[in-house]
């Protein structure tokens, strides 16, 4: 698997665009994105578990249930969430406009929205956005699409990889946005993945579910699960490689590439988390099961006191141990061990013999790892999280999501 330039337009047979339609109030920034496949593609999606599913989430879930799609339209600046029947009508109307422009049925058009909750979509501007995106579609438009879906993100997020399979070479590309309401299940975000591999919608959905559980469900910025979380994957078969079948090496290799791309995007969301100054990997091992390890890792990753200690660059292991201890997973305190990078701070449940300065030096790095061992069990898990900084408070006390 090799990294290649670009994002959603790196695979064959995709065009994209990002334009400004005035949806972000008082801004001239790009706020509409369109990703279109030249031909009908398989589609799969993963969505928020929030009771308040935004209108576009409900719409996309329907499209994905059909298994076939040819485009995804995304607006930032307005989430079209908590907008009732009107919101559902607006999502459908948007799909109709895009479908008419591309000559495809509306139910082959995914629609995503991200931004302020509870405000009706400004449909005159959306219509303008759809038209301008249709006109601007190009095989090099991925970067503009990545820019158009940003909200509080400080950098656009796109990546692409090439995988040499036994049958030939395929590519996968992605764009994603964060940067707040990022909770482990799943992260608050929109991510669109394209691939020129050929794969049926059922197998694609299975691979996407597995990839999301190892990536977007393992990150945390602020532990708020949004109303609009959406991950979409389109597979259009334009690489001219025969269809990937479950049980083959090519299928597994493609799945690993999809997971790796999702992890890459997930880590980018954390690195650009609201106010983040640190990227911290939390590794837990020795639990009874991977699920138990995941719950302990999540507890540390989401703890306000751990996150402020990361910001303070303070190897305050008492907080990390404490957060592990209230995860709701039984373990023997005497078996507990903890490292910051290679410096062991805790052994047998109490302070190890270590140099405070060495531990503090590790935490002054912009990226570091906290490793925890809770016993001799086979369970292990990794989470990625950011710190809790003054800027997080400033951004969220002022910005209306």
State the residues that interact with a copy of itself by CB under 8 A.
48-53, 79, 81-84, 87, 116-119, 180-181, 183, 222-227, 303-305, 308-309, 311-312, 314, 316-319, 321-327, 329-331, 333-334, 336, 346, 348-351, 388-390, 392-394, 396-398, 400-401
The end-to-end CA distance of the chain, in Å, is 37
| Smallest separation (angstroms) from a copy of itself to the CB of 347 | 10
Rounded to 5 degrees, φ, ψ at 157 are -125, 110
Dist CA 206 CA 283 (whole Å): 26
Select which of 114, 188, 259, 302 is catalytic: 188
| Smallest separation (angstroms) from a copy of itself to the CB of 189 | 14
Helix, strand or coil, per DSSP, at residue 389: coil
Dist CA 195 CA 14 (whole Å): 9
Question: Beta partners for 339?
Answer: 344, 371
| Closer Cβ to a copy of itself, 167 or 354, answer by number | 354
Closest CA to 217 of 287, 159, 291: 291
| Smallest separation (angstroms) from a copy of itself to the CB of 46 | 15
Dist CA 163 CA 161 (whole Å): 7
Q: Is 192 in contact with 148 (CB distance < 8 Å)?
A: no
Q: b/e per residue, 247-257, with b = 16+ CB within 10 A?
A: eeebbebbbeb
Helix, strand or coil, per DSSP, at residue 380: strand
| Closer Cβ to a copy of itself, 97 or 311, answer by number | 311
CA dihedral 359, 365, 366, 371 (to 10 degrees): -40
Maximum pairwise Cα distance, the chain: 69
Dist CA 364 CA 310 (whole Å): 9
| Smallest separation (angstroms) from a copy of itself to the CB of 154 | 18
Residue with tokens 């082959």: 108
Q: If phi over 0 gives left and psi between -120 and 50 gives alpha, with beta otherwise, what is residue 82?
A: left
| Closer Cβ to a copy of itself, 42 or 316, answer by number | 316
- Confirm whether 188 is a catalytic residue: yes
| Closer Cβ to a copy of itself, 129 or 375, answer by number | 375
| Smallest separation (angstroms) from a copy of itself to the CB of 249 | 39
| Closer Cβ to a copy of itself, 263 or 303, answer by number | 303
| Closer Cβ to a copy of itself, 136 or 305, answer by number | 305
Q: Is 191 in contact with 176 (CB distance < 8 Å)?
A: yes
Residue 358 is encoded by which pair of tokens? 């060495």
| Closer Cβ to a copy of itself, 70 or 401, answer by number | 401
Q: Is 30 in contact with 21 (CB distance < 8 Å)?
A: no
Dist CA 70 CA 16 (whole Å): 12
Closest CA to 268 of 366, 188, 193, 156: 156
Catalytic residue positions?
A: 188
């Amino acid at each position: 698997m090799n990294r290649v330039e670009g994002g959603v337009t790196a695979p064959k047979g995709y065009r994209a665009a990002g334009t400004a339609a005035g949806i972000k109030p008082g801004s001239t920034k790009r706020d509409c994105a369109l990703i279109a496949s030249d031909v009908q593609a398989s589609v799969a999606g993963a969505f928020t578990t929030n009771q308040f599913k935004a209108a576009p989430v409900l719409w996309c879930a329907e499209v994905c249930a059909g298994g076939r799609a040819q485009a995804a339209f995304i607006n930032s600046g307005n989430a079209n969430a908590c907008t009732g029947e009107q919101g559902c009508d607006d999502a459908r109307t948007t799909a109709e406009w895009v479908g008419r422009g591309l000559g495809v049925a509306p139910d082959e058009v995914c629609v995503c929205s991200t931004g302020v909750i509870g405000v009706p979509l400004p449909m005159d501007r959306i219509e303008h956005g759809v038209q301008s995106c249709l006109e601007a579609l190009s095989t090099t438009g991925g970067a503009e699409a990545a820019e158009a879906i940003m909200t509080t993100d400080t950098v656009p997020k796109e990546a692409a990889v090439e995988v040499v399979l036994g049958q030939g070479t395929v590519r996968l590309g992605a764009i994603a946005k964060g940067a707040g309401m990022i909770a482990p299940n799943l992260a608050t975000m929109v991510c669109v993945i394209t691939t020129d591999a050929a794969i049926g919608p059922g197998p694609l959905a299975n691979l996407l579910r597995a990839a999301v559980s190892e990536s977007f469900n393992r990150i945390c910025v602020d532990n708020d699960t949004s109303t609009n979380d959406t991950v979409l994957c389109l597979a259009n078969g334009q690489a001219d490689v025969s269809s990937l079948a479950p049980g083959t090496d090519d299928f597994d290799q493609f799945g690993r590439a999809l997971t790796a791309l999702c992890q890459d995007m997930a880590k980018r969301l954390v690195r650009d988390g609201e106010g983040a100054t640190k990227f911290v990997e939390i590794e837990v091992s020795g639990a009874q099961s991977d699920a138990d390890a995941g719950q302990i890792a999540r507890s540390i990753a989401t703890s306000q006191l751990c996150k402020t200690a990361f910001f303070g660059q303070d190897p305050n292991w008492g907080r990390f141990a404490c957060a592990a201890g209230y995860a709701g997973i039984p373990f023997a305190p005497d078996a507990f061990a903890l490292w910051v990078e290679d410096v062991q701070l805790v052994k047998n449940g109490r302070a190890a013999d270590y140099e405070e300065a060495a531990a503090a030096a590790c935490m002054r790095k912009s990226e570091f790892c906290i490793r925890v061992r809770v016993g001799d069990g086979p369970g292990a898990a990794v989470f990625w999280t950011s710190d809790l900084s003054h800027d997080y408070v400033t951004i969220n006390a002022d910005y209306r999501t």
